[in-house]
Amino acid sequence: MHHRVRRGDNLWKIGRRYGVPLVILFNLNPHLRRRRNRIYVGERIRVR
């Protein structure tokens, strides 16, 4: 399952919306660690 990033989203809000801790989001999306946790509008983030 994926989430499409919208304006105003951040990783904490996305995790809360899906009931997924930040640690799990980072495990599912290792590229986020390399980019210093930056996310961009329209990007797909794996949440499950």
Kindly report the CATH number assigned to the domain that includes residue 35. 3.10.350.10
Range of the domain at 29: 2-46
Number of domains in the chain: 1
- Going by C-alpha positions, the residue among 35, 33, 15 that lies closest to residue 25 is 15
24/15 Cα distance (integer angstroms): 9
**Of 15, 11, 10, 6, which is closest to residue 48 (Cα–Cα)?**
15
> Given 3-state DSSP classes, what are the helix, strand and coil percentages for the chain, each rounded to the nearest 5?
40, 10, 50
Res 10: pLDDT:
96
Per-residue pLDDT tens for 2-46?
Answer: 999 999 999 999 999 999 999 999 999 999 988 877 999 999 999
Q: Give the predicted TM-score (pTM) of the model.
A: 0.87
Question: Measured on CA atoms in the order 26, 42, 19, 37, is the torsion positive or negative?
Answer: positive
Residue listed under structure tokens 């899906």? 18
